[in-house]
A and B are shown apart, each in its own frame.
Chain A
Amino acid sequence: MWLLQVGLEAHFSNILENNMAKREIEEINAGSMADIAFLLLIFFLITTTMNLPQVQEERLPQKSEVEFLLNERNVLQIMANKNDKIGIEGEFAELEDIKEAVKEFYVHPEGTPNQPNYDTLVTTERCQKRLDNLQIALAAYPDAAVYKIDEGIWSRRLDACNALIDAGKKGEFQVLPANATVSIQMDNSTKYITYMKVLDQIMQGLNELRDEYSKENFGVPFSKLNDKVESDKRKIVAIRQVYPKKIMKEKNRSVQ
C-alpha cells in the first residue's frame, strides 16, 4: 500500500510538471546570435569581390613637331583603313593575326629578317657599369634630360636583374632596342571599336608573353601577381622591363 502511494504520487507529479512546462516557454538564449552574425559578415566580406570599372589605358605623347626616323625593321606597323580593314606591315590581315605578330615582334630568333635585332644582353654588371658612367656624365651635365631618362631606364633594369637573381634565376634578359616599337595608324574615319580591338589584341599578345615568362621564372602567371603586395610588385616591375609596352600612335593620315 505504501509502495503504491509513492508510485501514484510520482505519477501525479509527472503530470503536474508536464502541464507546467506547457504554460511557460523558456526564453531562447540569444547570446550566440552575435557570433552567427559575425560569421556571416566575415563570410560575405571574404567571398564578395568588388566590381571596379574596367578600363583600357593609354598615355598620350607630348605635343611635338619632331619627326622620328625609325629603322623599318624596328617597327611593327599596324594599320586600319576607313572600312575598318586591318593591315600588318602593309599586308591585309585579320584582327586575330595581330596577337601573333606582336608576339613574334618581341620574341624571335636573332637575325630574323624584318624583325628587330636585340640590344645587348642586360646583366647586373652591365647595368652597374652603365649607371656608374651615367653618374659621371650627370656630374658634368646635371641638367641633361637624356642622361636622367637613361639613368631611370638602367636602374629599373638593374632592379629587374636583382629580382630574377632573388628568384634563383640568372639575372639577365634580352631587350629590344630603345627605338623598337609597335606603331598604330588609324584613318580618320576608322571606328573607335576597331581602335580598341587593336589595342586589345596587342595587350593580349604582350600579356601572354608576360604570363609565360612569369611562370617560367617566378612560378606564377603575370595576371595572378598582385601589385598591392611588395614582393609581387617587384616581379611585376621586372617583367615589365623584359616585355615593355611600346605603342606609338602615328599622326593623322589617310590609310589606303
Chain B
Amino acid sequence: MSKFSKGKKRKDPAISTAALPDIVFMLLFFFMVTTVFKEKESNKLEIDKVAIKETIDLEKNIKAAYFWIGRVPGTTDDFRVQLDDDLVNDYSEIKDYLVKLKKNPEFSQVWNNRFFNVFKVDQKTEMRVVRKVHDELKEAEAFKVVYSVNREK
C-alpha cells in the first residue's frame, strides 16, 4: 500500500535559471518598444474627438502646449477651453501663457520648427471658440497647430 517507498525516493536536480535573465530582458525590451505613452487627456472637460481619413503621425520629441475645448461634463453651458492644467476664464490668458513659455530657452530654441499647439476639440464645438483661441495664438506668434483626431478606417 505504501506509495512512498523509501527505495524510490529521489532528489530532483535544480532547474537551471541561467536563462531567466534572458526572458526577463526580452519582456522588458518588448514592452519598452511597444509602449506608447497614453495621450494626455483632459481631466476637466468632456471631449468627443472627430474621426477622419487623412491623418499624419504626430512627430516625436516635440515641445507642445495642449489645448482642450469642450463642455464641462454634465452641463450644457458654453464650450470652455482648458490650457495645460487649468480652465481658461479669459482668452487673453492664452497669449500671456504662450509669451511666458517663449521666454523659456527650452521652448524658444524650437519655437519655429518643433513647437506645436496640440488641439483636442469636441466635435460639437462652434468655430467661434476655436477662432478666438487661434487669434490669441497669432498674437503670441505660435503658428503651428495640430488637431488630435481619430483615424477613420
Interchain CA distance A197-B52 in the complex, whole Å: 7
Does the CB pair B50–A193 fall under 8 Å? yes
The verdict on A28 contacting B22 (CB below 8 Å), with A54-B55, A54-B57 known, is no
Question: B109-153 toward A: CB 8 Å interface, digit per residue (1/0)?
Answer: 000000000100111111110110010011100011111111100
Q: Are B60 and A60 in contact (CB under 8 A)?
A: no
- Stretch of A105-113, A131-139, A146-154, A200-208 on the interface side: A200-208
Q: Which of B9-17, B85-93, B98-106 contacts A (4 or more CB under 8 A)?
A: B9-17
Assembly CA distance A200 to B150 (angstroms): 12
Which of B12, B15, B26, B60 is close to A52, meaning CB atoms less than 8 Å apart?
A: B60
A9 within 8 A of B: no
Report the interface size class on chain A: 35 or more
Contact mask for chain A residues 205-238; partner B; CB cutoff 8 A; 1 contact, 0 none: 0010000000000000000000000000000000
Complex CA–CA separation, A27 to B121 (angstroms): 61
Cβ of B146 and Cβ of A50 under 8 Å apart? no
Interface check A56, CB cutoff 8 A:
yes
Q: Does B29 contact A (CB under 8 A)?
A: yes
List, in ascending order, chain B residues with CB within 8 A of A15's CB.
Answer: none
Min CB distance, B147 to chain A, in Å?
A: 5
Q: Which residues of A contact B147 (CB under 8 A)?
A: 55-58, 196
Contacting pair B50 A192 (CB below 8 A): yes
Q: Mask for A155-192, Cβ within 8 A of B = 1, else 0?
A: 00000000000000000000000000000001111111
Q: How far is the CA of A171 from the CA of B151 in the complex (A)?
A: 36
Question: A52 and B54: CB pair below 8 A?
Answer: no
B3 interface contact, C-beta 8 A: no
Are A37 and B146 interface neighbours, CB within 8 A?
Answer: no
Query: What are the interface flags for B1-27 relative to A under an 8 Å C-beta threshold, 1 for contact and 0 otherwise?
Result: 000000000101101101100110110
How far apart sit A190 and B131, CA to CA, in the bound complex (Å)? 11
A207 CA / B138 CA spacing, docked (Å):
28
- Known A24-B10, A190-B126, A192-B125: A55·B146 in contact at CB below 8 Å: yes
Chain A 54-95, CB within 8 Å of chain B: the 1/0 string? 111111111100000000000000000000000000000000
Query: Does the CB pair A192–B149 fall under 8 Å?
Result: no
Decide: B22 and A37 in contact? CB cutoff 8 A.
yes
Cβ of A18 under 8 Å from chain B: no
A25 CB–B CB distance under 8 Å? yes
Picked from B25, B30, B127, B139, the residue with its CB within 8 Å of the CB of A191 is B127
Tell me whether A63 and B54 are in contact (CB under 8 A).
Answer: no
The answer for the CA separation of A41 and B27 in the assembled complex, in Å, is 8
Q: Which B residues form the contact surface with A (CB < 8 A)?
A: 10, 12-13, 15-16, 18-19, 22-23, 25-26, 29-30, 33-34, 36, 39, 50, 52-58, 60, 69, 118, 121-128, 130-131, 134, 137-139, 143-151
